[in-house]
Amino acid sequence: MIPQGGSINQQIHPLSQPSRTYRLDPVSNRIIGYVDDLEAVQQAVYKIMQTERFEHFIYGTDYGSEITTLIGRSKLYIQSEVSRRIQEALLQDDRIRSVGDFSVEVSGDTALVNFTVVSTFGSFQTQKEV
């Protein structure tokens, strides 16, 4: 017998993951304590930008950046493409609201990209060298 007359009126709201995580010390290559809020987002940005997308099976296909494929490209191509790739990588994190204020300085074989990350915990400036 199939029940009749029932209905589901509950709305489903996605839950945000907690921000608290282990503090990574890139100098000593050790885990030292915990970070939370803005510092945790800064660490997440660092990790995302250091991880090449599709290269490590432990991460899903939406984690990491595709920056290294810009190596060897023309200056104009890098300037036009790097901001899109950084935004695409970082906006996968639901704590990050926007990424902007890009400035790209190409010098010889390297490009230095400065940008601002706006998160639910505040904003900060960071950079990535390509």
Q: Which residues pair with 35 in a beta bridge?
A: 21
Domain boundaries of the chain, sorted by first residue: 21-129
Could you tell me the two tokens for 98? 């926007």
In the predicted structure, residue 7 carries a pLDDT above the cut 70: no
- pTM here? 0.80
Distance CA 95, CA 87 (A): 13
Tens of pLDDT along 27-72? 899 999 999 999 999 999 999 999 998 888 888 888 999 888 888 8
What's the whole-number mean pLDDT along residues 8-37?
Answer: 82
Pick the CATH number of 21-129 from 3.30.530.20, 3.10.450.40, 2.60.40.10, 3.90.180.10: 3.10.450.40
| Residue 17: per-residue pLDDT | 64
| Residue 28: per-residue pLDDT | 93
In the predicted structure, residue 126 carries a pLDDT above the cut 90: yes
| Residue 14: per-residue pLDDT | 65
Tens of pLDDT along 80-101? 899 999 999 999 999 999 999 9
Return the amino acid letter for 129: E
| Residue 15: per-residue pLDDT | 63
Is the separation of the CB atoms in 66 and 78 below 8 Å?
A: no
Is the separation of the CB atoms in 21 and 42 below 8 Å?
A: no
Distance CA 45, CA 49 (A): 6
Instruction: Find tokens 């660092």 and name the residue.
Output: 46
DSSP assignment, residue 53? T
Q: How far is CA 46 from the centre of its chain?
A: 8
Q: How far is CA 11 from the centre of its chain?
A: 29
